Amino acid sequence: MLKQCIKAENAKLKSSAIWILFFIVPIFPAIMGTFNYLGNIEILQDGWYSLWTQHTLFYADFFYAPLIAAYASYLWRLEHLNHNWNFIMTAPVPSIDLLLAKFFILFKVTALTQLWVGILFFLCGKFAGIPGMVPFECIFWLLRGLFGSIGIIALSVLISMIIRSFSVPIILALFGSILSLVLVNGGNGYFWPYALMMLGMNSNQSENNMNNGFAFFFFSVFFFVFFLFLALRYLKKKDICSA
């Protein structure tokens, strides 16, 4: 049944507005980060690593989480329209399969987003005249940021399931990201899902800033399980007539 649910969610992606967000939104932090780098090149003299600090300053801190929230809001949009919520509540589909299908699709789109961000980073680096190739550390930070996003994805599935508005989950994700800046600077980022993504991306840092890899992986998995559990409980208690 999970396979069929994933196919159904995949069908929503075809010719959907998600791909407009996917292609356009990451371009903004890439441009902002590149011109910020070029405007301070006399200070930022560490090549790819300096460019990384500027790209992630905007992308990881302000664009990443709201973009995931936008993806999630779009995936839940059809269920919230008309009487489609009642349909999924009465369909012979396990609730866990429905939630996991949405999570897997969101994770896939997020992974593709990270790939697109990596491509933009490379192109911007060449535009800025940085020699050589992207360091392996930057590629690793992209992948680690993807893992750190699993808690955000699960939380976005939960919030967009409960809140029918398309924009409110995005605003909440933006506030979550802003709060993460305070928590990361205070050394408490491991206890906040949005901050885990920033830590994974090594946001605004040219050297690895993660001092506790175990805590990062543990809390990433914890938040994924915790928010998925809350979403499952909500679905099982949701009244069909209240949708």
> 35, 105, 100: which is closest to 68 by C-alpha?
105
Cβ(190)–Cβ(149) below 8 Å: no
Please name which of 160, 158, 157, 178 lies closest in space to residue 169, comparing C-alpha atoms.
160
pLDDT of the chain, 243 residues: tens digit per residue: 788 878 877 887 887 888 999 999 999 999 999 999 999 988 988 899 999 999 999 999 899 999 999 999 988 887 777 556 656 666 667 778 889 999 999 999 999 999 999 999 999 999 999 999 999 999 999 999 999 999 999 999 999 998 888 899 999 999 999 999 888 877 788 899 999 999 999 988 877 878 788 999 999 999 999 999 999 988 877 654 444
**Torsion angle in degrees (nearest 10) through CA of 73, 75, 107, 60:** -20
Pairwise CA distance, residues 188 & 205, whole Å:
17
The Cα 61–Cα 161 span in angstroms is 24
Instruction: Write down the pTM of the prediction.
Output: 0.91
CA dihedral 234, 177, 109, 126 (to 10 degrees): 180
Distance, CA of 172 to CA of 65 (rounded, Å): 9
